[in-house]
Structure 1
Amino acid sequence: MEELKFLSILKSIANKNPEDINSYIANFILNNIKEINDYSLEKFAILTNTSKPSIIRFCNKLGVSGFSELKFQIKNLIKNNLALNEQFNFKKQLVDNNDKYQNYLQIKNNSSNIVLERYIANQKDIKILLDRISKANSIYVFGMNLAYNISRNFVQRIRWLNKTIIQERDLNSIESYVQQINENDVVFILSLSGNSKYLIDFASKLKNKTYIFGLLGDDGEIKKYCDSVIEIPQFEDKIWDSFSIRGQCLIQILDYIYMDLTNYLLKKVQTD
């Protein structure tokens, strides 16, 4: 989300209705913007006389996934003086001094934190995914380029669990699989941009035919064809045109799924 748009939405909520809890939270942020990043979610809820669920709902209304992403956006506002003069002058490049390392680390850590928040927030869908995988005839993993390479280790580990899993990036091969996939299968769609035109086409053909789980870049078109999605933050767009940090986030999510799946299968064996 661009900083100017973020600030505009924040001010709009603040001015909407003085009696509304979201308006109160927004005004508190604007009046204490330099201190927000020092607060934990619990502390912020106390200071605004609200609750953690209320803060999370406010974040969603603002267009961010959680409190960590809210703090990240506010930090960007302060860094670019947007909160003071509403002038946007962020250069899309690494600064030629030691700040570039801190800037990279900040974006990497914030992206990782947001991935964790989104994964936890999607636990209901994760449980459905684990159940579907445990019963699936076949598991398919479709992705291109970096996403494909990243998922190779995940695919191998799933095979170690005696699951039939097929990984593919060749367009003709994917097309042939699309014809044979049925409701007893599970399909992973991996796209760090979320907008691969080929994967959009395949996902549209698979919609309502099988269970599709998407690991996708924010705001991508593919997600509308998926049964469930975990979106990958794209904050690194602010420093370069690369998918490096997004790739690390994809690894993180796949690791979480593998850990949860092994625990799920172990408990299933113990209870059967």
Structure 2
Amino acid sequence: MVDNEDLLQRISERYKKMSKGQKLIADYILNNYDKAAFMTASKIGQKVGVSESTVVRFANMLGYEGYPQLQKALQEVIRNKLTTVQRIEMTSELDESTLLKTVSKMDINNIRLTVEEIDKEVFNRVVERIFSARSIYVLGLRSAAPLAQFMGYYLSFIFEKVRVVTSGVNDILEQLIHIQPQDLLIGISFPRYARRTVEAMAFAKNKGAETVAITDSLLSPLTSYADHILLARSDMASFVDSLVAPLSLINALIVAVGIRKKTDISSDFQELERIWDEYQVYIGKDRS
């Protein structure tokens, strides 16, 4: 398997040795990688004026078995390279009349692929680590912040020492200053990856804490500092990040943990229901 991380650089380095047709393909990909990543071999061939077989040979020359592997590598590369403007341009031609269906289908596909590809052994190990940790830190910045808040909110009903680490008055590293080897940090980040999340993962790792990365790819920068990696698909339909599959994965973790502490949770929630009712936290039936 070829390293996808330096794909564009590798194309540039081999450019001088390419045939005339291959150079046309290389030029198009280097200048339009955001569009090329979602084009078939035939489409790229038509665009630059070469045959489909030339595009396939171009992929072989770069070390890929065929064009689909090159296309997948390009899609991995652009996950963290695309600007918001480029994402908007990618979807500018979508038919508004079918937009709801298109986006929903993509989200459904993200969940399906996540379920099919998830490493169940890692999933179970993460559940075990959540149970055994002295304190649990859940880290999520920018678009991943709601995911961290959701996970932290429910885990706090189950465990006493749960802390959500996100943007606020204190710097991220200040919020992690007391993290210890017996603690667990769950870092959540999806393209475009937040630099501070990666730094926080490295910080926790250096302090001896155990780390979990919830991210989209093994190429994610979080994986370098993770003891356990859980992958969830987040293929984007537009400038908005698709976080449906990551949320489903987090929901599954919470349910798995909750089932194992069912008796304790039941007792706690009975007390919580009494408190919520007394202070009218939720809208209920009229008592009059």
Settle same-fold status: TM greater than 0.5.
Answer: yes
- Judging changes above 3 Å, is the alpha-carbon distance between structure 1 residues 91 and 149 closer, same or farther for their aligned structure 2 residues? closer
Kept in 1, the 8 Å contact 2:110–2:245? The answer is: yes
Give the Cα–Cα distance (whole angstroms) in 2 for the partners of residues 188 and 251 of structure 1.
14
Quote the offset at 1:266 in angstroms.
4.8
Q: Does 1:207 align with 2:209?
A: no
TM-score (norm 2): 0.57
Higher helix share: 1
Q: Does 1:233 align with 2:233?
A: yes
SS in 2 for 1:129: helix
Between 1:200-209 and 1:253-262, the stretch displaced more is 200-209
Gaps of at least 5 residues in structure 1 are 17-22, 31-58, 65-89
Between 1:138-147 and 1:226-235, the stretch displaced more is 226-235
List aligned pairs for 1:74-113, cutoff 5 A. 91-93=90-92, 95-113=94-112
Kept in 1, the 8 Å contact 2:122–2:230? The answer is: no
Partner of 1:162: 159
Quote the offset at 1:166 in angstroms.
0.2
- Judging changes above 3 Å, is the alpha-carbon distance between structure 1 residues 249 and 194 closer, same or farther for their aligned structure 2 residues? same
- 1:97-135, CA deviations, whole angstroms, 9 ceiling, x for partnerless residues? 43323321221111111122233xx22112221111112
SS in 1 for 2:177: helix
SS in 1 for 2:251: helix
Q: Alignment RMSD, CA only?
A: 3.7
Partner of 1:127: 124
Kept in 2, the 8 Å contact 1:142–1:189? The answer is: yes
Gaps of at least 5 residues in structure 2 are 1-35, 43-51, 74-88, 266-288
- Judging changes above 3 Å, is the alpha-carbon distance between structure 1 residues 127 and 194 closer, same or farther for their aligned structure 2 residues? farther
Equivalent pairs, count: 198
Matched AA of 2:101 = Q
Q: Does 1:257 align with 2:253?
A: yes
- Judging changes above 3 Å, is the alpha-carbon distance between structure 1 residues 194 and 216 closer, same or farther for their aligned structure 2 residues? farther
List aligned pairs for 1:49-60, cutoff 5 A. none
Matched AA of 2:179 = I
Give the Cα–Cα distance (whole angstroms) in 1 for the partners of residues 41 and 215 of structure 2.
22
Partner of 1:45: none
- Judging changes above 3 Å, is the alpha-carbon distance between structure 1 residues 211 and 268 closer, same or farther for their aligned structure 2 residues? farther
Give the Cα–Cα distance (whole angstroms) in 1 for the partners of residues 253 and 70 of structure 2.
28
List aligned pairs for 1:163-178, cutoff 5 A. 163-170=160-167, 172-178=170-176
Give the Cα–Cα distance (whole angstroms) in 1 for the partners of residues 146 and 181 of structure 2.
27
Larger Rg: 2
SS in 2 for 1:207: helix
Kept in 2, the 8 Å contact 1:138–1:184? The answer is: yes
Give the Cα–Cα distance (whole angstroms) in 2 for the partners of residues 135 and 6 of structure 1.
50
SS in 1 for 2:125: helix
TM-score (norm 1): 0.60
Kept in 2, the 8 Å contact 1:185–1:210? The answer is: yes
Matched AA of 1:107 = M
Quote the offset at 1:264 in angstroms.
3.3
- Judging changes above 3 Å, is the alpha-carbon distance between structure 1 residues 131 and 231 closer, same or farther for their aligned structure 2 residues? closer
SS in 1 for 2:176: helix
- 1:245-264, CA deviations, whole angstroms, 9 ceiling, x for partnerless residues? 22x22221110101111233
Between 1:256-265 and 1:183-192, the stretch displaced more is 256-265
Q: Does 1:145 align with 2:142?
A: yes
Give the Cα–Cα distance (whole angstroms) in 1 for the partners of residues 160 and 131 of structure 2.
8
- Judging changes above 3 Å, is the alpha-carbon distance between structure 1 residues 162 and 199 closer, same or farther for their aligned structure 2 residues? closer
